[in-house]
Structure formats: C-alpha cells, structure tokens
C-alpha cells in the first residue's frame, strides 16, 4: 500500500537505503515489507527478532544486510549446550607473557546473528539479551563496551517445536520488532528456484554505506517530527490494547516508545520529515505482536488481533 | 512593590500605552479649556518623540516642575482643584505626564489603571450612545494594553486584541447583572459635584428682546412627548413655561408671590401623554396647556405653571394629561388683574397713545385685540435677527424696526393690551414639535422655544392670544423652519429638508430615544417593577446586594465550570479534512474512521481515478499541516479542497 506522495523530503536523502532495500529484495524475493521493517528496526536503534521455520531465509537476510551496510558480521548458532562464555568471550592464561588475555566472543561484532536463540538455555539467552540491552559485556569483573553500531538479529523457531526454550515476555520486550518471513508466494518462489542459491549471491553484495555513518542517520531518524495529533493516535492505540478483552495485558510505556521510534524510522525511509498515521499502522504488528498475549490462545497476539485493534481507533 | 513590578518596561509595549492614554483622554478635548488640551497634547507628543528616538526621559525635578505648572494652571482656571471639571482636567494632565515617566512596568500599570478611571469620568459629561460606543472601544484597547504588558513580546497584536475582546465579552453577563440589580439611587449619579449641571441650555425665567431668539438657535432637545392617542394638531401644542407678569420697560419677569389658585373648567376630554424632560436645571415642567392631571410632587401655581420642588438635573419622565379647550380663572383675583394692567411710567408713549386711540374708537376688548393682530399682520417681519432696541423698546419696535422674534411680538402685544386697559401677560414655553414617525415620539427642541400672550376677558377668563400667529401663521401651523426665510441662523440639523437626511435624523433620534427610555431610564421605580415581576416585591438594597452577590457567584462558577469542562476545540485542519471527506461521501467514496489519509487517497485512486491527483494534493496539504512541523498555514489545504469541487 505504498504511495508516492509529494510531501516534503528531508535533507539527508535516504538514497543509499533505497538501494539497500532494492538489493536485499533481490536476494529475498517478495519480502520487501519485511526487509523494510528490518532496516527500519536497525535505523531505530533496536534489535530484531525473526520468528520462522528453518529455511525461510532468515540467515540470508541477516547476511545480506551485514554486507550491504558494511557491518562487521558474526554469527552465533544457539544450541542447548551453548554457555554464556561462548558468547561473551573468555580470558585465557598466556604462558610466555604470564598474564591472562581476553579472547572476545562472537558478540563483539557490529551485526550479530543469533540463530535459533530459543534452542539455548535461559541462562545463555539472558547473557545475550543483557549484552543487547546494556551495549557492553562484563567478564570477570571487567566491563567491555560492544562495538558501535550494534545490531542483533535473532531468529527463533516457532515455540511449539521440540527442544526449544521459549523466550520469557520480559526478554521479548528487548526486541524492538519481531517479524516473520513466511513462505514466498508463487512468483517469488519460482524466481528463487530459477536463480540458484541465494546464499552465494548474498556474498557477492557490496557495502553501500559505511557503518560509521549509521549513528548520524540514527540521530536524524530520532529527530523526525511527531506532531501532537500523532502522539494522540499512538496513545489511543496503547490505551486500546490495555482495555481490549482480546489481550491478556496491554502494551507497556516502553512499547509505546518503541512504536514511536519504529514509526519514525519508517517515515524516514519514506523520505518524510514527519510521522503520519500510516507509519504507525505499518510498524504496529511488528512492534506489538510479540509484546501482547492473546486472551483466547494464551499465545502471542496474531496479526488479525492487531488489524482489529487498528480498525477500532479513529485517526485523530 | 513586587520584583515583577520593578521590571524594566518592554520597549515595544510603549505604543500600546500611548494609544490607551489617547483614547481615554480624547473625548475630554470637546469640553476642556484650549490651553489644557494643548498642554496634554504637547506632553504626549514629547513623550512619543522621546520614545521614538530612544532618548532619556526627563528627570524627577523636571517632572515636579511640570506638576506644579499644571496644577497651578488648573487652579487659576477653575479656582479649585476639586469638583468635576478641575478633577478631570488634573487626571488628563497627569495621564499625559505619566507618559514622560514610563520607566518600569509599574509606571505602565499606573497608566492602565488611570486609563480605566478616566473611562469612568466621561459618563459625568455624557451618557449618549456615541460615548458608550467610544468607551467600549477604549475599554477594549486598555484591556489589550494590560494583557500586552503581562504577556510580553511574544503576544502579537492580533492575539492580544482577540484575547482582550474575549475578556470584554465575558464581562457582559456581569455587566447585565450589575445593571439590573445594583441598588439604584434616585437622584443625581453618585452625588455629582456641584458644578456638574452648569451650562445646561433651556428656557430662562426672564424674557427680554433676544432671549428666546438666542435659544431658538440651538438644536438641543428640550423634551419628548408620547401621546397615548392621536397627536393633537400643531397649532394646539402650547407647552407652558414661566408666566411673566412684571415688566420694567426692558425685561419681563414672573411675579414673586405664588399666592392664589388656578380654577380650570375643562371643555374637552383630557389627552394623556408621557413626557421625558431633558435636564434644564429649572423647576418647571413644560406641561401642555392646560394641565389637568399631574404626577406626585408636581404642583400648579395660580398662573397654571406646573413646577416641582427640586430643579430637574437629570432626565425625568412624567405621566401627564391636558385639556386643550378650557376656561381658566374666570373669577380672577382683582389684585392679579391690577398687576396685569401695570406699566412702567414714562416710556413707550407712542404705543400708549395707539392703544388709547383703539380704546376710544371701540371699547370691546375683542375688537382691540383684533386691531393689534391686524397691525402685526401688516408690515412686520418674523426674524431671528432683530435690530437692537433702545430705552423705548416697544415704540421702536412697533413704529421703526418692525422686525422681531416671538418675544418682541408677545411683549409689544401685552404692552398694548395693558395700555388699552385689558389685563394681559406674557407666557413663555415651547410651541409645536416634530413628530418622529419611527417611534411616534414628539420631539420638542430649544428651537421650538416660544412666547405668547394671555389676556383676561370678562366671562372667559384668561385667553391665549399668539401675536406671532398674526405675523407668521406658518410658525404656529407647521413650525419654525418653514416660518423663517432661508439664511436665518437656525441649526442645520433642524433645517435638513432632503428626505433621506431627515429619515436618517429620525432614525438616530428614535434610537437615542429608545436608549434614553430603556437604558438610561432604568430608575429605582423600574427596578422595583422588574423585581416584583420576578417575584421579589418590596426589596431593599440589602436584599438586592445579597441577590447580586449570589448571581455573580453563580456566574463565576458557571464560567469556571465551562472553562474546565468545555470540549477541546476542533483543529481547523481536521475540520477542513472532514469537509473533504464529506465531498468524497457525496461521490459514494465512503471511508472508515480508522483509515489514514493515505489509505483514503488509495481508495480514491481505485474508485474515482479522475479525482486521484486532486485528492492526493489535498492529502499532502492536510498531512503537512496536521502532522508537519510548526506549520499552521491552512491556505494550501483550503485551495486544494476548493479544487475538489
């Protein structure tokens, strides 16, 4: 439902991002909205959770983004025997120098892909999530900052699969967005089948932006104007989740902030200087689904619940 | 003094203070001494000049000297510093001086407070509609100045003025309650200073050549009358003022003693009317001849003049009745008759000789009167410009100049009658009037002032004879405007002959009359009537004050409740957007409330492709103005919506 409108474009042209979205779209066919959400999540300085069955292109998406953004990439495959130290790093004794030397773990990268995060034990999960939240790691009493920018894309299998430890709600909240890629449609799948492996093509991508430029862009995004009527709209949505019998509990104030910053990023990607209700509606499912529990199924809220929520609130 | 009061004055607020000082003092220009106007004007100009060039304000000693000069000037002018005129003059000069002392916010507040007080002083001079309108305007401006002082430079002129207007409008309910319920004092407003009633125009209690013709040059309204039934013909409208019986050769005066009674025999049914008398600082009520029914506190004397005990210093209403055909004092007291035959010795020999000649030819009083009327009908001219007369004024008038106004004719006629042995006297008052067809009020002006004669005839009593009617019958039949040749110094307003001008004047006078009758005429009596109609009979000022307090408290509470609980105002951009959606609905494009403007645009694209581009412009303009940064320019949105039609 994207429309080209003539309303004013901000000074910093998001042109490289148009290319980034376009080139990523050539790796993951037919998923432009999801790619856009993932990039918006990055621009809003949040972390992304992708929940899907294996083989849907989660890793490829993370890989492609890392390449296009020129970010230092590392991947952690979560398993049930993964220990916190395997993520953060350990100190080892160097005999020739007679001192301990810190070997940084895979978390010390700009873009970390935490694959199948719900296969690890809660202890290991929380080590990652703490690093995500704090932006630093404390090993053996020494606090070490993580590189900037720092962006985690975690993937998880649907909770009902065997051998998974579902993330508790408090930790799900650390992710700005959760998206699902889902099966490609027929044309997209045909294209994929015809084009051969997507992983190799992801490796061929070149960076379109330097990671050093990213913080400035993130600041620009955070400064996107949200007018009073728009804040009213966000508030009305938050309020509705808290009084809607479809949900067990409503969205937290932190979720509200997340919604607004995601909407800002969405607006920026659209080349606008201000947030409009469309931005909020576009990011709402990704921001709200994993934070809400449906009253009927006791699982997370479904996209239909969110659609219903949107339909119940008039645009102010 | 608080810290905020000592704050330096914002330079841009000063023009507001100048404007306030100007509007609050301006109407006083009309009645103040020239040198006072000049002094105040010069001081204001100097202050403005200093402000514009950003120069230093004069020091304390200069100001003290100015105060001294101003006060002594006022003292020399009025011989006092108290009272209405001197007090107002002081306030005006002080206001102008304060502008030379605008250093801190405190000084500015003093100007504003002085401005509010000066507003009040205008009512001591005039309570007319233009005054009210001007003061309303001044009140608005002074209030805006006060807001500007406290709002700081962020307050734009339009915001300040709008806010002040809202405040003034909000004061209206309180004004109405105070107007209707504040205990009314009968008598002059707030015990006006003693000089408040000086300089009122009106009939004088003496008559000499020229006294009435001077009065006739004023267009001021003397009184208005409203008849319950049809208005009697003009030549019957003689409004009786003082009756002059004593003549010293030049001046006619009423006789001192008020002894005796008037006995009236009515020959026609009484005509009822209501009279609204303008203040004239005299005691007589100019009742229509002959008064048969009088209000309380008004009495008739032996000359049929209606008087009240106190001078009329404020506009008064009287319910009266008159009988147009009457017999008056058929059995007059012989002393009175003797008095009305007396003439000063040794003057006007020619007139005496003429009267005696008439008498020797035919002794019947009626024929002597006829002779005199015939004389006047021949070679006499009715004019406001009579030549000056010497010691033998009546001889000179009758035999040389032959030009005069009604007082000349009445005086000469009475002199001739007395010389011929017929008791006669001069009656002054007003004759005629102009009926305003818009409200059916008969307006009688000073220019309708008149003098006529009364003779006493055996068996008939006092009979009115109007010698002016012989000279100029039109004066009595239609009015003074038609009776005088063009070029006489009658007030312009009375002479307007063009029909639209006359209609305009009728409108304005009817409006003024309504204002007088209904707004200014709301007196203790009317207040009592209103309260008893509201079910509160017999209220004294204590219960009125209580009622006033209760109503004002309720009003304040209601306003507070309204302010706290009123629905938030609809954003103008949103209102325009809703208008645009209304236009879509007319084209069968219906949108849900949750749909964003972009989604609506998409819908239009699908359902109404020919409109898509125009509507996209509306959406862009709307999004920009509603969600954009600090953009309150609605013009593009309005224009885009206009193109939608």
Instruction: Concatenate the DSSP letters of all residues of B131-174 into one string.
Output: HHHHHHHHHHHHHHHHHHHHH-TTS-HHHHHHHHHHHHHHTHHH
Chain A, chain B: beta-carbon pairs less than 8 Å apart: 67
Tell me what the mean pLDDT of segment B97-109 comes to.
Answer: 89
Which chain B residues in 395-454 lie under 8 Å from chain A, judged by CB atoms?
A: none
Is residue A275 within 8 angstroms of chain B, CB to CB?
A: yes
**Residue A5 within any structural domain of the chain:** no
Selected for mutation to probe chain A from B627, B628, B632 (highest A CB count within 10 Å) is B627
Of the candidates B80, B85, B107, the one whose C-alpha atom is nearest the C-alpha of residue B95 is: B107
Residues A158 and A120 in one domain: yes
Cα angle A232, B627, A225; round to 5: 90
CA distance B424 to B457: 9
Residues A81 and A34 in one domain: yes
The yes-or-no verdict on residue A197 having pLDDT over 70 is: no
Alpha helices in A223-276 (DSSP H): 228-243, 253-269
CATH number of the domain enclosing A110: 3.40.50.300
Residues A144 and A265 in one domain: no
The yes-or-no verdict on residue B134 having pLDDT over 90 is: yes
pLDDT bin (cut points 50, 70, 90) of residue B178 is: confident
The yes-or-no verdict on residue B202 having pLDDT over 80 is: no
Of the candidates B582, B571, B586, B585, the one whose C-alpha atom is nearest the C-alpha of residue B622 is: B571
Which of A276, A312, A314 has the CB atom closest to B627's CB atom? A276
Q: What is the mean pLDDT of chain A?
A: 84
Q: How far is CA A273 from the centre of its chain?
A: 23
Catalytic residue among B28, B122, B408, B450: B450
Query: Does B316 sit behind a cis peptide bond, omega within 30 degrees of 0 on the bond before it?
Result: no
Tell me what the mean pLDDT of segment B226-245 comes to.
Answer: 89
Residues of B in contact with A281 (CB under 8 A): 596
| Shortest distance, CA A231 to any CA of chain B (angstroms) | 10
The per-residue pLDDT for range B431-453, each reduced to its tens digit, is 888 888 888 889 898 888 889 99
| Shortest distance, CA A279 to any CA of chain B (angstroms) | 10
Which of A5, A227, A313 has the CB atom closest to B616's CB atom? A5
Residues A155 and A121 in one domain: yes
The per-residue pLDDT for range B522-531, each reduced to its tens digit, is 877 788 888 8
Residues of B in contact with A8 (CB under 8 A): 624, 628
Which chain B residues in 182-201 lie under 8 Å from chain A, judged by CB atoms?
A: none
Tell me what the mean pLDDT of segment B246-261 comes to.
Answer: 80
Q: Do B623 and A227 touch (CB under 8 A)?
A: no
Selected for mutation to probe chain B from A233, A270, A315 (highest B CB count within 10 Å) is A315
**Residue A1 within any structural domain of the chain:** no
CA distance B545 to B402: 65
Domain total for chain A?
2
The pLDDT, as a whole number, for residue A56 is 82
Tokens read off for A258: 């997340």
Tokens read off for A9: 């474009």
Residues A212 and A237 in one domain: no
Strands B284-285 and B306-308: antiparallel
Q: Do B616 and A6 touch (CB under 8 A)?
A: yes
Residues A169 and A302 in one domain: no
B107 carries an active-site annotation: no
Residues A106 and A82 in one domain: yes
**Residue A56 within any structural domain of the chain:** yes
**Residue A177 within any structural domain of the chain:** yes
The pLDDT, as a whole number, for residue B133 is 93
CA distance A302 to A292: 9
Output A53 or B116, whichever has higher pLDDT.
B116
Range ranked top by mean pLDDT from A159-163, A192-196, B353-357, B633-637: B353-357
**Residue A67 within any structural domain of the chain:** yes
Q: Do B596 and A311 touch (CB under 8 A)?
A: no
The pLDDT, as a whole number, for residue B143 is 94
Domain containing A257: what range? 224-316
> What DSSP string describes A151-199?
EEEEEE--TTSTT--PPPHHHHTTSSEEE------HHHHHHHHHH--HH
Provide the 3-class DSSP secondary structure of residue B82. coil
The per-residue pLDDT for range B497-548, each reduced to its tens digit, is 667 788 888 888 888 888 887 887 787 778 888 888 887 777 777 888 888 8
| Shortest distance, CA A1 to any CA of chain B (angstroms) | 8
Q: With contact defined as beta carbons under 8 Å apart, do A217 and A28 qualify?
A: no
Which of A229, A281, A312 has the CB atom closest to B626's CB atom? A229
- Percent of chain B at pLDDT > 90 equals 17
Catalytic residue among B122, B155, B395, B406: B406
Nearest CA in chain A to B625: A227
Q: At which of A201, A218, A235 does a domain end?
A: A218
The yes-or-no verdict on residue B634 having pLDDT over 70 is: yes
Residues of B in contact with A273 (CB under 8 A): 628-629
If one counts every other C-beta atom within 10 angstroms of the C-beta of residue B535, the result is 6
The yes-or-no verdict on residue B200 having pLDDT over 80 is: no
**Residue A31 within any structural domain of the chain:** yes
The yes-or-no verdict on residue B339 having pLDDT over 60 is: yes
Q: Do A276 and B592 touch (CB under 8 A)?
A: no
Tell me what the mean pLDDT of segment B3-22 comes to.
Answer: 78
**Residue A3 within any structural domain of the chain:** no
The per-residue pLDDT for range A73-117, each reduced to its tens digit, is 888 888 888 888 888 888 888 888 888 888 888 889 888 988 888
Which of A6, A275, A314 has the CB atom closest to B593's CB atom? A314
Q: At which of A169, A187, A218 does a domain end?
A: A218
Strands B246-247 and B238-244: unpaired
**Residue A4 within any structural domain of the chain:** no
The pLDDT, as a whole number, for residue B6 is 54
pLDDT bin (cut points 50, 70, 90) of residue A71 is: confident
CATH number of the domain enclosing A238: 1.10.8.80
Is residue B265 within 8 angstroms of chain A, CB to CB?
A: no
Selected for mutation to probe chain A from B596, B619, B621 (highest A CB count within 10 Å) is B596
The per-residue pLDDT for range B349-404, each reduced to its tens digit, is 888 888 888 888 888 888 888 888 888 888 888 888 788 888 888 888 888 888 88
The yes-or-no verdict on residue B1 having pLDDT over 50 is: no
Q: Do A229 and B601 touch (CB under 8 A)?
A: no
The yes-or-no verdict on residue B192 having pLDDT over 60 is: no
The pLDDT, as a whole number, for residue B115 is 95
Q: Do A312 and B627 touch (CB under 8 A)?
A: no
Is residue B531 within 8 angstroms of chain A, CB to CB?
A: no
Is residue B614 within 8 angstroms of chain A, CB to CB?
A: no
Residues of B in contact with A276 (CB under 8 A): 596-598, 623, 627
Residues A39 and A171 in one domain: yes
Residues A229 and A213 in one domain: no
Residues A282 and A158 in one domain: no
Residues A116 and A151 in one domain: yes
Q: Do A281 and B571 touch (CB under 8 A)?
A: no
Q: Do B571 and A312 touch (CB under 8 A)?
A: no
Nearest CA in chain B to A6: B620
The pLDDT, as a whole number, for residue B497 is 65
B220 carries an active-site annotation: no
| Shortest distance, CA B598 to any CA of chain A (angstroms) | 7
Q: Do A276 and B597 touch (CB under 8 A)?
A: yes
B466 carries an active-site annotation: yes
With tokens 């500007």, the residue in question is: B148
Tell me what the mean pLDDT of segment B601-605 comes to.
Answer: 88
Q: Which helix (H) or strand (E) holds B511?
A: helix B499-514
| Shortest distance, CA A8 to any CA of chain B (angstroms) | 8
Q: At which of A203, A218, A233 does a domain end?
A: A218
CA distance B451 to B216: 11
Residues of B in contact with A6 (CB under 8 A): 616-617, 620
The yes-or-no verdict on residue A209 having pLDDT over 90 is: no
Is residue B616 within 8 angstroms of chain A, CB to CB?
A: yes
The pLDDT, as a whole number, for residue A9 is 43
Q: What is the mean pLDDT of chain B?
A: 84
Q: With contact defined as beta carbons under 8 Å apart, do B421 and B341 qualify?
A: yes
The pLDDT, as a whole number, for residue B158 is 86
The yes-or-no verdict on residue A3 having pLDDT over 50 is: no
Output A189 or A49, whichever has higher pLDDT.
A49
Q: Residue B297: left (phi > 0), alpha (psi -120 to 50), or beta? A: left
Which chain A residues in 208-267 lie under 8 Å from chain B, judged by CB atoms?
A: 225, 227, 229-230
The pLDDT, as a whole number, for residue B452 is 92
The pLDDT, as a whole number, for residue A10 is 43
Is residue B629 within 8 angstroms of chain A, CB to CB?
A: yes
Residues A147 and A208 in one domain: yes
């Amino acid at each position: 439902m994207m429309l080209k409108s003539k309303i004013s474009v901000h000074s910093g042209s998001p042109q490289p991002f148009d290319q980034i979205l376009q080139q990523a779209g050539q790796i993951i066919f037919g998923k432009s909205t999801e790619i856009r959400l993932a990039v918006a999540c990055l621009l809003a300085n949040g972390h992304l959770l992708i929940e899907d069955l294996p083989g849907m292109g989660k890793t490829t998406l993370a890989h492609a983004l890392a390449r296009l953004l020129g970010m230092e990439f590392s991947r952690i495959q979560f398993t049930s025997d993964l220990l916190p130290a395997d993520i953060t790093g350990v100190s080892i004794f160097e005999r020739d120098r007679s001192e301990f030397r810190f070997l940084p773990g895979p978390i010390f990268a700009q873009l970390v892909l935490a694959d199948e995060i719900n296969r690890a034990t809660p202890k290991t999960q929380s080590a990652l999530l703490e690093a995500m939240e704090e932006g630093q790691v404390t090993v053996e009493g020494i606090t070490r900052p993580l590189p900037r920018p720092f962006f985690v894309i975690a993937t998880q299998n649907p909770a009902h699969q065997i051998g998974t430890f579902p993330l508790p709600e408090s930790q799900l909240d650390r992710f700005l967005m959760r998206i699902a890629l889902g099966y490609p449609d027929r044309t997209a799948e045909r294209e994929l089948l015809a084009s051969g492996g997507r992983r190799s093509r992801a490796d061929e991508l070149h960076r379109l932006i330097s990671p050093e430029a990213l913080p400035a862009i993130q600041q620009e995004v955070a400064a996107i104007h949200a007018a009073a009527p728009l804040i009213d709209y966000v508030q009305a949505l938050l309020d509705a989740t808290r009084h809607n019998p479809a949900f067990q509990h409503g969205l937290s104030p932190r979720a509200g902030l997340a919604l607004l910053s995601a909407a800002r990023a969405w607006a920026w990607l659209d080349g606008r200087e201000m947030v409009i209700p469309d931005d909020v509606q576009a990011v709402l499912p990704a921001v709200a689904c994993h934070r809400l529990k449906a009253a009927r199924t006791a699982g997370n809220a479904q996209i239909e619940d969110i659609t219903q929520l949107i339909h119940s609130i008039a645009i102010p | 003094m608080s810290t905020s009061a000592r704050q330096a004055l914002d330079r841009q607020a000063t023009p507001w203070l100048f404007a306030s000082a100007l509007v609050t003092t301006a109407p006083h220009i009309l009645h103040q001494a020239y040198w006072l106007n000049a002094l105040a004007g010069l001081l204001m100009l100097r202050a403005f000049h200093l402000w514009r060039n950003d120069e230093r304000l004069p020091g304390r000693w200069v100001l003290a000297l100015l105060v001294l000069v101003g006060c002594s000037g006022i003292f020399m002018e009025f011989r006092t510093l108290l009272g209405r005129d001197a007090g107002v003059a002081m306030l005006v000069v002080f206001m102008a001086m304060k502008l030379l002392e605008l250093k801190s916010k405190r000084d500015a507040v003093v100007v504003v407070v002085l401005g509010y007080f000066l507003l009040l002083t205008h009512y001591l001079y005039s309570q007319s509609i233009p005054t009210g309108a001007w003061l309303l305007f001044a009140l608005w401006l002074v209030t805006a100045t006060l807001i500007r002082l406290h709002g700081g430079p962020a307050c734009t002129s339009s915001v300040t003025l709008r806010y002040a207007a809202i405040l003034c409008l909000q004061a209206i309910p309180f004004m109405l309650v105070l107007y209707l319920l504040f205990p009314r004092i009968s008598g002059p407003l707030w015990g006006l200073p003693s000089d408040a009633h000086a300089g009122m125009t009106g009939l004088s209690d003496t008559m000499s050549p020229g006294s009435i013709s001077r009065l006739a040059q004023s267009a001021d309204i003397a009184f208005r009358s409203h008849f319950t039934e049809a208005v009697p013909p003009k030549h019957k409208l003689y409004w009786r003022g003082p009756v002059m019986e004593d003549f010293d050769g030049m001046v006619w005066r009423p006789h001192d003693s008020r002894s005796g009674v008037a006995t009236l025999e009515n020959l026609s049914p009484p005509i009822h009317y209501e009279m609204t008398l303008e203040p004239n600082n005299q005691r007589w009520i100019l009742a229509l001849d002959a008064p048969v029914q009088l209000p309380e506190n008004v009495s008739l004397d032996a000359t049929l003049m209606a008087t009240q005990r106190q001078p009329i210093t404020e506009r008064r209403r009287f319910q009266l009745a008159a009988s147009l055909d009457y017999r008056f004092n058929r059995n007059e007291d012989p002393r009175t008759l003797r008095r009305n035959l007396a003439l000063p010795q040794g003057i006007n020999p020619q007139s005496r000789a003429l009267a005696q000649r008439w008498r020797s030819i035919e002794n019947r009083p009626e024929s002597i009167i006829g002779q005199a009327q015939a004389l006047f009908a021949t070679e006499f001219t009715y004019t406001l410009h009579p030549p000056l007369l010497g010691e033998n004024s009546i001889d000179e008038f009758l035999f040389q100049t032959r030009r005069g106004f009604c007082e000349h004719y009445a005086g000469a006629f009475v002199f001739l009658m007395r010389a011929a042995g017929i008791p006669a006297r001069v009656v002054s008052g007003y004759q005629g009037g102009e009926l305003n067809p818009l409200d059916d009020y008969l307006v009688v002006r000073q220019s309708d002032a008149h003098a006529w004669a009364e003779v006493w005839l055996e068996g008939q009593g006092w009979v009115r004879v109007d010698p002016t009617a012989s000279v100029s019958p039109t004066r009595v039949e239609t009015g003074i405007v038609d009776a005088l040749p063009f070029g006489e110094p009658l007030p312009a307003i009375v002479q307007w002959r063009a029909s639209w001008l006359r209609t305009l004047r009728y409108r304005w006078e009817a409006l003024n009359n309504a204002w007088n009758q209904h707004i200014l005429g709301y007196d203790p009596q009317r207040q009592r009537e209103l309260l008893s109609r509201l079910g509160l009979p017999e209220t004294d000022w204590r219960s009125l004050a209580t009622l006033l307090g209760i109503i004002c408290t309720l009003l304040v509470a209601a306003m507070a409740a309204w302010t706290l609980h009123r629905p938030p105002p609809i954003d103008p951009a949103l209102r325009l957007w809703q208008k645009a959606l209304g236009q879509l609905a007319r084209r069968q494009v219906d949108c849900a409330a949750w749909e964003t403007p972009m989604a609506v645009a998409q819908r239009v694209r699908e359902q109404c492709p020919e409109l898509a581009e125009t509507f996209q412009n509306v959406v862009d303009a709307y999004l920009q103005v509603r969600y954009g940064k600090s953009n309150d320019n609605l013009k593009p949105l309005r224009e885009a919506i206009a193109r939608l039609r």
